[in-house]
């Protein structure tokens, strides 16, 4: 592995993890060397989209040990997503056990400290029983793979975004669940954004197209001219664990953080802006172009000081270089 030049791509590692739900109960999950899944042509997931997933990372510490960052919140969100899609949830304690097992089994693929790379862990749950009519599955597979990854967007270099004309999720729809359909529906917008020369696009609220919702794979934040950390409150966005954590970090940094509706019309009140998420970490937003007008934040080429300070503190906590709030980090 060329640790310093990894993209955000799949590498097939030696071990995955799998558990099956059948006859009303979960079997005890186990590590497997199989990285494929066999499905009936009539399986639920292929036709009616019962799929929910998670994304979390294992961070190599300076002392060689490995950190997980708030993995119980991923386990809980997977269960919440499953509930929204009428699926059988995978128990949170078993989720945590599966994450630890897959990290330990693939330990040599957790990238070195300071390489900028991490081990990305992708747990997911699918409905596998056969259906013809629209109804929930009665059998499910929980599967986890892990793969070493580098930066998802542009690292700490600002990127240019545009605003999507499409919605990724409906107002009372599945936006707050981490389910494949939300991503499928966002693809046409990112294809268009890439064609137009942007890194990706921002979605507005699906009812009025007036408020900022989120990016296709990350939540939005802005720093006002007065130095306040502001992030959207919306029922159609994913409740980001990075966002939840940065709200606390921002509080400690005196940024008076707030979650509130943000009208796109007020975008110029932000001196800095960013995308936040597990894959994105904090990716600075250099500009957002909407209806022919380009709004620049801080500098299209350089990252602003508030964004930089937030980023530095977040990654220091994740890698174990700075003290973490109680319970945020689990060391393996």
Residues noted as catalytic: 178
279 forms part of the interface with ligand COI (CB under 6 A): yes
- Asked if residue 54 lies in contact with residue 126, where contact means CB atoms within 8 angstroms, the answer is no
Distance CA 17, CA 24 (A): 20
The residue written with tokens 């306040």 in the block is 228
In the complex, least distance from residue 225 CB atom to ligand PLP, rounded to whole angstroms: 26
153 forms part of the interface with ligand COI (CB under 6 A): no
Pattern 234-263, ligand PLP, x by CB under 6 A: ----x-xxxx--------------------
| Binding region for ligand PLP (CB under 6 A) out of 150-158, 210-218, 301-309, 319-327 | 210-218
**Pick from 75, 173, 217, 304: which binds ligand PLP (CB under 6 A)?**
217
* Bridge partners of residue 122, in order along the sequence: 145
Between 131 and 149, whose beta carbon lies closer to ligand COI?
A: 149
In the complex, least distance from residue 53 CB atom to ligand PLP, rounded to whole angstroms: 9
Count the Cβ atoms, other than its own, within 10 Å of residue 49.
16
In the complex, least distance from residue 30 CB atom to ligand PLP, rounded to whole angstroms: 26
DSSP string, 244-259: HHHHHHHHHTT---EE
121 forms part of the interface with ligand COI (CB under 6 A): no
Distance CA 327, CA 52 (A): 25
DSSP string, 205-225: PTTTS-BEEEESSSEEEEEET
| Binding region for ligand COI (CB under 6 A) out of 257-265, 277-285, 289-297, 300-308 | 277-285
**How far is CA 316 from each of CA 60, 82, 265, rounded to the nearest angstrom?**
12, 32, 35
**Pick from 55, 111, 158, 304: which binds ligand COI (CB under 6 A)?**
55
Between 109 and 298, whose beta carbon lies closer to ligand COI?
A: 109
Pattern 263-302, ligand PLP, x by CB under 6 A: --------------xx------------------------
Between 140 and 152, whose beta carbon lies closer to ligand PLP?
A: 152
Burial of 268 (0-12, 13-18, 19+ CB in 10 A): exposed
Distance CA 280, CA 202 (A): 14
277 forms part of the interface with ligand COI (CB under 6 A): yes
Query: Which among ligand COI, ligand PLP, none contacts residue 141 (Cβ within 5 to 8 A by kind)?
Result: none
**How far is CA 50 from each of CA 42, 91, 134, rounded to the nearest angstrom?**
13, 17, 11
Phi, psi at residue 100, to the nearest 5°?
A: -65, -40
* Residue numbers at the binding site for ligand COI (CB under 6 A): 55, 217, 277-279
Chain positions contacting ligand PLP, by CB under 6 A = 55, 214, 217-219, 238, 240-243, 277-278
């Amino acid at each position: 592995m060329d640790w310093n030049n990894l993209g955000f791509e799949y590498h097939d590692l030696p071990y995955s993890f799998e558990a099956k739900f059948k006859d009303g109960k979960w079997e005890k999950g186990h590590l497997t060397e199989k990285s494929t899944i066999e499905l009936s042509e009539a399986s639920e997931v292929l036709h009616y989209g019962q799929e929910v997933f998670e994304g979390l990372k294992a961070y190599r510490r300076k002392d060689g040990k490995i950190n997980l960052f708030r993995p119980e919140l991923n386990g809980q969100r997977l269960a919440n997503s499953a509930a929204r899609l009428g699926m059988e949830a995978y128990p949170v304690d078993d989720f945590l056990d599966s994450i630890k097992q897959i990290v330990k089994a693939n330990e040599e693929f957790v990238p070195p400290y300071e390489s900028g790379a991490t081990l990305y862990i992708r747990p997911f749950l699918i409905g596998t029983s056969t259906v013809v009519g629209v109804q929930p599955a009665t059998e499910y597979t929980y599967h986890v793979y892990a793969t070493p990854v580098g930066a998802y967007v542009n690292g700490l270099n600002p990127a240019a975004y545009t605003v999507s004309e499409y919605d990724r999720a409906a107002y009372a729809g599945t936006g707050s669940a981490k389910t494949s359909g939300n991503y499928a529906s966002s693809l046409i917008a990112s294809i268009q954004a890439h064609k137009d020369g942007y890194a990706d696009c921002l979605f507005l609220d699906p009812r009025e197209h007036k408020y900022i919702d989120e990016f296709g794979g990350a939540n939005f934040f802005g720093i006002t001219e007065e130095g306040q950390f502001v992030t959207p409150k919306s029922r159609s966005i994913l409740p980001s664990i990075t966002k939840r954590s940065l709200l606390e970090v921002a509080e400690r940094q005196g940024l008076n953080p707030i979650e509130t509706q943000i009208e796109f019309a007020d975008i110029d009140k932000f001196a800095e802006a960013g995308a936040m998420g597990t894959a994105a970490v904090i990716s600075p937003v250099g500009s957002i172009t909407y209806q022919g007008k380009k709004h620049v934040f801080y500098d299209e080429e350089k990252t602003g000081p508030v964004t930089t300070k937030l980023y530095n503190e977040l990654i220091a906590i994740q890698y174990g270089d700075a003290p973490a709030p109680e319970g945020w980090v689990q060391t393996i």
